[in-house]
Structure 1
């Protein structure tokens, strides 16, 4: 037992002088960090838990950074030839992202639909004249070296991937698709059988004000929807079409339908294992059912590990896809309306404004977020869907052909099985990023709903992927396709096997011309593996990953109306803001589950810092970071859903029997 004078402070971690990125190529055995362990067990106090968690996270990030830097080419012999060597260098950090022509990549370095270019560094691209622009480029470069690359290395290289018809299929994509199919069959197609009942529950027909909880069914749904109906619906769909062709929309809709059951399962578990605090607040989510649910199965150690892993991934995902990505993509759209926010000038102003407004809301917790979301979500959905409906109705004659284009392209064999599978992968990645089914995030919001029937909240939650992906994403995709364009599959790249050396044609920064490059390594080649979606209005924007700008061009072009741009301005900002405030709650719940309730202010400050960073870091790095973390959350969560699916099935059968016997009745 330690004495009072030597009370445990947990893990004491001291850093030597931080090396430069080039110095990180030293062997892993170099003493980057030193440790001194106290005599008492770690985690016995809040300070111990905080030190252990933060110290472990920093250690993993630093070691991974060293691994990535060590593996990267350090000489011209190992680096791939630049495909655009004859082109003038980009002038801004944003233009550097244009070299990433695989617009909807997953963020995994091993996947052909993605890339981790050794030559695409913002520092070399920032040939800007102002000190501010140079500082932005340095921040962006540090973001990639010290955060994005290590996360990719830790989360994806460890798992590897499989070859199928000459194309690597990321394990995370197969993991999500198989789980969604399994749960849909396991729950006997609950997504179809209880669809209308879900609508009645959301309307409040079964609400009881005396039930335990903090928010109503509708407010919980609005809070979760505000985290999913975001820029993934606007930018993500356009990026999927630009990189994978119109057929990617088909796969987005399919995974949306299957994901309804994944969402039902995780949100039911969120209610089953939630905790009511002494002050009446609710804490719940994947970190609770992973820990407590698996403990009931005699898997306590595994459950604790998965809960900690999920919490860490969710915290980081809240900084990326739930925060910085939303700021960056919305900034791209409103720059046209606010010239002061142009790249290289004062983009940080937008980040500061968003951080200030978000801070005002997130201080109030889930009740404040629920109130704001219940106002914003219906308004922005009606405005955005109404705008899309106008375009579809006024161009009704082209809608059948658009559907035909989407379906035939989804199953097209023109580019071989490799091309077909590539479009499928892109569609699934963008759908999961949009609706987050299987990642476990929504269970945090739905666990706070007022109900004494956990299954009822799971049924409400299954509406999310339908609204988010099946409805909103489909309408966005139809608008982009109807706006016009030509999809040209790249048969040469679709049939190319990894490791095969050949000369290939790639897009340059503008997306309008081509250069020739030699494939040296699949991780570094600048390539568009699937093909090109070309349109005079927005073809170059796809190459720059400016998905929101693609949608802007589609709705304000000949098929739309000029004033639609102002509706889209408002929709984009509201989509981004609502997603930010909801993800702040997700991340905070995971943070406090690791470090205690008293540390929540530390998280909120860090979260708002990343809000500002979203206006500085380039789109390519933000998209990779967002995909990596949100997809990574599915690893621990879906493993828990497999193990606990039997409990959910029994609860669902019991709930169905109660409905049949009339024990659960709507309000008079």
Structure 2
């Protein structure tokens, strides 16, 4: 058996119909159980991000905006560019519809999980305040549930390795900046080229991640919003220039979502592919983003839940939709042999001739690098919980070495491995959130009642 076949079996087993029940069913429960109240306060959530409702004497490491930027650095990136391309190629246009559904219920999921991230924070061996599913489980559910926290951290070590982002970054740089201009023959074995580029990425990442969450948040807060604006400006340019075609492709997305003959293998197959790709894109219910929001400087858990709720709306409903429309409008999804981010680059080349691919490369570079920074923090949190914060350097060195593996591995090997790990991470995250949902509801009722009186 090959590594591709082994990882494919692992991912398919992990992403069975049970994940549909857990992620979408759980998200629907949160949506209804909260009586949709948090959705009425999106304006208030934006105001919190802008710093209009500071907490005096709040504990934590980073601001609300820093926490959102750090979380968005981990979600806005290859999941919105490469993963959307994978969704369309594997599941057809209909997979995008199920990404939308996953994002809508994911907003409710993030409200609950990230409220819990502040409500049940713990301390590492250095006495530093930390948040994440492992602390929600141990602090909120008690020591008898510790096995679930350990399980999350073990699979989180794998799920947060910088595999997909590194691989796709190397591929787009190699294809468009080295092979396409003729600096390297396509027929040649690219192993040493991939390895050399991976080494450069490893050194760049190492210079930032060894500085901790404050440095990661500082870089993310500076880079991510600017890259989102540049990317969205390009997307709107393409969409406006093809505005007459947009209704057709939006209709195609909806129709294919319910087609028995879809590329994804019927309605259930397309649904699972869409939800799988949405989980990688916005991470709602996976637990990674909970660690970023758990570092926020606040004493009001509901505030951070509201801030976190903005993530899937920006990430999937806005950015992923724009990427999907560009790919569909360009036509490259029909008959192209390109994979992942290179398919998106071809779409930009057709819709924005000359400059399109190179603007995309700029965005991809910063998106992927910032995501790798954030994933290093997530994985480090898992490692610290298992082995102690004083051992974190050991993990960071291993983390940096996996960049070299990702640079030389195939897309199929990597995406299957990460998909499987993400599915397993969702089990303890969603189970703990569902069990503690009444605590979130009580905190939300209290917060919104005080808010209406102020």
TM-score bracket, normalised by the shorter chain, equals over 0.9
Which of 157, 171, 178 is residue 315 of structure 1 equivalent to?
157
5+ residue gaps, structure 2: none
1:355 aligns with 2:195: no
Matched, 1:550 2:343: yes
1:478 is matched with 325
Secondary structure in 2 matching 1:534: coil
Q: Which residue is 1:588 aligned to? A: 380
Matched, 1:540 2:319: no
Summarize the alignment of residues 20-99 of structure 1 with structure 2, pairs less than 5 Å apart. Answer: none
Q: 1:655 to 1:191 in 2, by over 3 A?
A: closer
CA RMSD of aligned residues (A): 2.2
Q: Partner residue of 1:291?
A: 138
| 2:165 counterpart of 1:337 | no
Q: Is the 8 A contact 2:92 2:262 kept in 1?
A: no
**Whole-Å separation in 2 of the counterparts to 1:281 and 1:596:** 12
Q: Which residue of the partner structure matches residue 639 of structure 1?
A: 431
Shift of 1:248: 1.0
Q: Deviations over 1:261-310 (max 9, x none)?
A: 11111111110111356977431110001112111xxxx32x10100000
Distance between the aligned counterparts of 1:417 and 1:565, measured in 2? Answer: 28
Work out which of the residue numbers 374, 379, 402 in structure 1 matches 2:226: 379
Unaligned runs of 5+ in 1: 1-117, 122-140, 162-168, 486-532, 663-668
State the Cα deviation string for residues 514-538 of structure 1 (Å, max 9, x = none): xxxxxxxxxxxxxxxxxxx524xxx
Of Structure 1 and Structure 2, which has the larger fraction of its residues in helix? 2
Confirm or deny: 8 A CA contact 1:388 1:479 kept in the other structure. yes
Relative contact order (C-alpha < 8 Å, sep 6+): which is higher? 2
Establish whether residue 420 from structure 1 lines up as the match of residue 259 from structure 2: no
Matched residue of 1:210: which SS?
coil
**Structure 1 CA distance for aligned equivalents of residues 154 and 60 of structure 2:** 26
The whole-number CA distance in structure 1 between the counterparts of 2:37 and 2:97 is 22
What is aligned with 1:26?
none
Q: Distance in 1 between matches of 2:281 and 2:263?
A: 28
Of 441, 451, 454, 1:659 maps to 451
| Superimposed CA distance per residue, residues 493-545 of structure 1 (whole angstroms, 9 cap, x where no aligned partner) | xxxxxxxxxxxxxxxxxxxxxxxxxxxxxxxxxxxxxxxx524xxx111xxxx
Query: How far 1:416 sits from its partner (Å)?
Result: 11
- In structure 1, distance between residues paired with 2:359 and 2:128: 37
The answer to whether structure 1 residue 609 and structure 2 residue 401 are counterparts is yes
TM-score where L is the length of structure 1 = 0.64
Residue 452 of structure 1: CA displacement?
A: 1.4
> Does 2:270 align with 1:434?
no
Q: 2:418 aligns with which of 626, 632, 652?
A: 626
Mapped partners of 2:191, 2:67: distance in 1: 40
Moved over 6 A (4+): 277-280
Q: Give per-residue Cα distances to partners, 1:636-662, cap 9 Å, x unaligned.
A: 111111110011110111111110111
Q: 1:448 aligns with which of 279, 295, 298?
A: 295
CA distance in 2, matches of 1:415, 1:589: 40
Counterpart in the other structure of 2:314: 467
Contact between 1:256 and 1:466, CA under 8 Å: does it hold in 2?
Answer: yes
| Structure 2 contact 165–372 (Cα < 8 Å) conserved | yes
CA separation of 1:152 and 1:244: change in aligned 2, threshold 3 A:
closer
Q: Which moved more, 1:470-479 or 1:169-178?
A: 169-178
Query: Does the aligned pair in 1 maintain the 2:256–2:262 contact within 8 Å?
Result: no
Maintained 8 Å contact 2:133/2:429: yes
Q: Which of 41, 50, 62 in structure 2 is aligned with 1:203?
A: 50
Per the alignment, do residues 334 and 598 of structure 1 end up closer, same or farther by CA in structure 2, a change over 3 Å counting? same
Distance 1:563 1:416, change over 3 A: closer
Say which structure is richer in strand: 1
Counterpart Cα distance in 2 of 1:174 and 1:275: 30
In structure 2, relative to structure 1, the CA distance for the partners of 1:416 and 1:461 (3 Å cut) is: closer
- The residue that corresponds to 1:105 in the other structure is none
Q: Equivalents in 1 of 2:56, 2:408: separation in Å?
A: 45
- Cα distance in 2 for residues equivalent to 1:595 and 1:360: 23
Find the aligned partners of 2:38 and 2:252 in 1 and give their Cα distance.
27
Aligned with 1:212: secondary structure? coil
Question: 1:249 is paired with a residue of what secondary structure?
Answer: helix
Query: How far apart in 1 are the matches of 2:242 and 2:416?
Result: 35
**C-alpha spacing 1:317/1:400, structure 2 compared with 1 (3 Å):** same
SS at match of 2:297: coil
Larger Rg: 1 or 2? 1
CA distance in 1, matches of 2:90, 2:158: 26
From the superposition, tell whether residues 174 and 396 of structure 1 become closer, same or farther in structure 2 (CA, over 3 Å): same
| SS of corresponding position for 1:214 | coil
Number of equivalenced pairs: 446
Write out per-residue CA displacement over residues 580-611 of structure 1, whole angstroms, 9 at most, x where no aligned residue. 00010011111111111111011001100111
Deviation at 1:631, TM superposition (A): 1.7
Q: How does 1:555-570 map to 2 (within 5 A)?
A: 555-557=348-350, 559-570=351-362
Alignment match, 1:408: 255
Shift of 1:326: 0.6
Distance in 2 between residues matched to 1:316 and 1:256, nearest whole Å: 24
- Structure 1 residue 345: Cα displacement: 3.9
SS in structure 1 opposite 2:245?
helix
CA offset at residue 210 of structure 1? 3.3
**Distance of 1:182 and 1:581 partners within structure 2:** 33
Cα 1:285–1:328 change in 2 (3 A) is same
